[in-house]
Structure 1
Amino acid sequence: MFALGTSHRFQLYSLPTDMRKSFDSLSGLVINDLDQSPDDGTVYIFINKVRNKAKLLHWQSGGFMLYYKRLESGTFELPDYDGSVGSLRLDYAQLVLLIDGISITNITRRKRYKKT
């Protein structure tokens, strides 16, 4: 699906984003609103107000990659979060479910071994 893997960090930007924005403008949101560096390897996810378009910004080997998905029908279902927070951390499974249109709000995770 993506050239992204489970080793990446994923941050969902909490405010609706104008999908006319491209590399520089989205990087500016990361720097100014989230106070983070867009070239730190994190994948930043932006959703528009209508929630039918999504962009993913990712720094990869010397340049930015921009993934874009537009839904022909339906909307992306966003998880519940505090609106005052600048972004919400997602894991790879949550990202795939979000992009594929599967609700991630009522998911129950089974206990799994986690190496510490």
Structure 2
Amino acid sequence: MATQPVDFRKGIDGLAAHVANSFDLDPYSGAFFVFRSKSGDKIKVLLWDGTGMVLIHKRLNKSKFVWPALSGGTFNLSKTQFEALFEGIDWRRVVPPRLTKPAVA
């Protein structure tokens, strides 16, 4: 997740270049890259699915996405936190389960 808003006129190629140039990450890694608009009510998700680049654009009608404090760089989310963010839910309240090994196998 990019913590700074991006220019929402950027499409697939522009966002992929932003991932590579601004964060020194591989946009073709299979990771989800999430960007927010300046207004905070829109997100774009960029991902490589193995056959092509996918761009998802979502706008909330009556609220804004919860975003970490605006600073430079990126922020990692768990799958569960991403799903909450995408639904417009406060992802900071989602606590991933702790995985523990069973006492007896």
Judging changes above 3 Å, is the alpha-carbon distance between structure 1 residues 74 and 32 closer, same or farther for their aligned structure 2 residues? same
Unaligned stretches of 5+ residues in structure 1: 1-11
Superposed counterparts of 1:41-56, under 5 Å: 41-56=30-45
CA–CA distance in structure 2, aligned partners of residues 19 and 38 of structure 1: 17
| Percent of residue pairs identical | 30
Bigger strand fraction:
1
Task: Answer yes or no: is the 8 Å Cα contact 1:79–1:104 preserved in 2.
Answer: no
Give the structure 2 partner of residue 19 of structure 1: 8
Q: Which amino acid in 2 is paired with 1:30?
A: V
Question: Which TM-score applies when normalising by structure 1?
Answer: 0.77
Number of matched residues?
A: 102
Give the structure 2 partner of residue 105 of structure 1: 92
Cα RMSD, aligned residues only: 2.0
TM-superposed deviation, 1:103: 1.4
CA–CA distance in structure 2, aligned partners of residues 95 and 44 of structure 1: 10
The runs of 4+ residues in structure 1 deviating greater than 6 Å are: none
TM-superposed deviation, 1:80: 4.4
Task: Answer yes or no: is the 8 Å Cα contact 2:65–2:88 preserved in 1.
Answer: yes
CA–CA distance in structure 1, aligned partners of residues 84 and 43 of structure 2: 13
- The structure with the larger Rg is 2
Task: Answer yes or no: is the 8 Å Cα contact 2:45–2:56 preserved in 1.
Answer: yes
Unaligned stretches of 5+ residues in structure 2: none
Superposed counterparts of 1:28-43, under 5 Å: 28-43=17-32
